[in-house]
């Protein structure tokens, strides 16, 4: 049985603003990938999720939410 590789990205604190997230989304529109050969899952912060979800899905990427942490700024999750 052949398996499709998965590439995932958890944004943590990056990008820092909604504007930066929109800029990143525009840059990704210039890049393509073969959806039959790789599954791409992007996990933006909950603040960016409603802004970037439609664009990511339109490019064939899956979108997932990430949890949060009570810790200050940094690469922390809710664990």
Neighbour count for residue 42 (Cβ, 10 Å): 23
**What pLDDT, on a 0 to 100 scale, did the predictor assign at position 75?**
67
* Backbone phi and psi for residue 41, each to the nearest 5 degrees, phi listed first: -125, 120
What are 32-76's pLDDT values in tens digits?
889 999 999 999 888 889 999 999 999 999 999 877 667 766 666
3-state secondary structure of 5: coil
| pTM score of the predicted model | 0.79
């Amino acid at each position: 049985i052949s398996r499709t590789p998965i590439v995932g990205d958890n944004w943590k604190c990056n990008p820092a603003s909604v504007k930066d997230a929109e800029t990143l989304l525009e840059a990704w529109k210039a890049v393509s990938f073969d959806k039959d050969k790789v599954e791409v899952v992007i996990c933006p912060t909950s603040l960016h999720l409603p802004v970037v979800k439609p664009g990511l899905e339109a490019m064939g990427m899956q979108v997932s939410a990430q949890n949060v942490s009570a810790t200050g700024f940094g690469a922390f999750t809710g664990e």
